[in-house]
Structure 1
């Protein structure tokens, strides 16, 4: 009798393996063959759950995004009035955060040419700004000011993170945090 496999769990396993491959060699490293090797299965298993590489990449983008959202929500839960310090935890100050940013950077280039990835990326950007905006409004900030503060935090986060991915020796965790606080209006 065949073993029952949870489709969602298998897709998550493939996405996690694809994320590892992206870290090691970029988007081109994600092939059904490489995924099968990484997971110790046949390419048929991968193709049972995914039609093509683009579908794997989209699932991997979502997987990476959901991990970052969980990190963001955990950080925001601890600071009800000012999420700037909480959002610092999304900067590439540690290995997990750096991993997220490297994967995103790979996807951002692909999103310029792949409509599905572009839409997913846009949803993520809007979602982050909206989550911050909602947080500020709940803390009593007026709507226009909340919009601007959310935008400022996002600009600072993305800009500093991109520089750090390419120049980690200069952008120490301390330097990232200090620059982020200044740019986002936290200190």
Structure 2
């Protein structure tokens, strides 16, 4: 009986190989041949799924965002309805290099960001990665919390969300180079979250 091949899984395995290479040597030197070797498959197989390096990189970026969403959902599988604070914190935690996976993700995003500066398609992929929608969702959670009297009414939800995302995104590279610790970033993140969602005594 012929072996059933999961084509999407194969694409995802190739994307994971792109991430590993990008996190160690950036994207400029990544070739289809290198990705094939890293994934443990033939060059022909990589070309079967991706006609060009450009298409492969765009898929790898898209799939990374999907993986992060899956990890957030796993963090929020608490056996109960998560609070607004927990939802926002779990989402932002994926942007901070607190472990090896987070470190890899941060390095990959930096590599893709550098390429996006001179690649219109990659830049468009960054702009369409769902960040604006996520920020709007977070702002909605804060408004709901304000309406319930759990968050200060004077807060500007959009500005608070922008600050929280800036902390997670902006301090991540400091952890990578050793000028800050993951604990410091999380403490700063929690400090700002506590301003938005004051702890109940």
Output the TM-score relative to the length of structure 2: 0.78
Please give the alpha-carbon distance, in whole angstroms, between the structure 1 residues aligned to 2:98 and 2:41: 35
Residues 96 and 40 of structure 1: is their aligned pair in 2 closer, same or farther, counting only changes over 3 Å? closer
Is this contact kept in 2: 1:15–1:56, CA < 8 A? yes
Aligned residue for 2:140? Answer: 134
5+ residue gaps, structure 2:
148-152, 196-201
Higher helix share: 1
Aligned residue for 1:186? Answer: 194
5+ residue gaps, structure 1:
none
Q: Please, which moves more after superposition, 154-163 or 69-78?
A: 69-78
Q: Please, which moves more after superposition, 66-75 or 16-25?
A: 66-75
Does 1:81 pair with 2:84? yes
Output the TM-score relative to the length of structure 1: 0.83
**Max Rg structure:** 2
The one-character-per-residue Cα deviations of 1:99-133 (angstroms, maximum 9, x if unpaired) are 11110011111111112221221122323313322
- Shift of residue 30, structure 1, vs aligned partner: 2.4
Matches of residues 11-160 of structure 1 in structure 2 within 5 Å? Answer: 11-75=11-75, 79-83=82-86, 85-87=89-91, 89-90=93-94, 91-124=96-129, 125-140=131-146, 145-160=156-171
The one-character-per-residue Cα deviations of 1:139-164 (angstroms, maximum 9, x if unpaired) are 3458x832222212111111111222
- Shift of residue 71, structure 1, vs aligned partner: 2.7
Please give the alpha-carbon distance, in whole angstroms, between the structure 2 residues aligned to 1:26 and 1:174: 26
- Shift of residue 3, structure 1, vs aligned partner: 4.0
Please give the alpha-carbon distance, in whole angstroms, between the structure 2 residues aligned to 1:87 and 1:171: 21
- Shift of residue 138, structure 1, vs aligned partner: 4.1
Q: Number of paired residues?
A: 183
Is this contact kept in 2: 1:21–1:29, CA < 8 A? no
Please give the alpha-carbon distance, in whole angstroms, between the structure 2 residues aligned to 1:31 and 1:14: 12
- Shift of residue 48, structure 1, vs aligned partner: 0.8
CA RMSD of aligned residues (A): 2.5
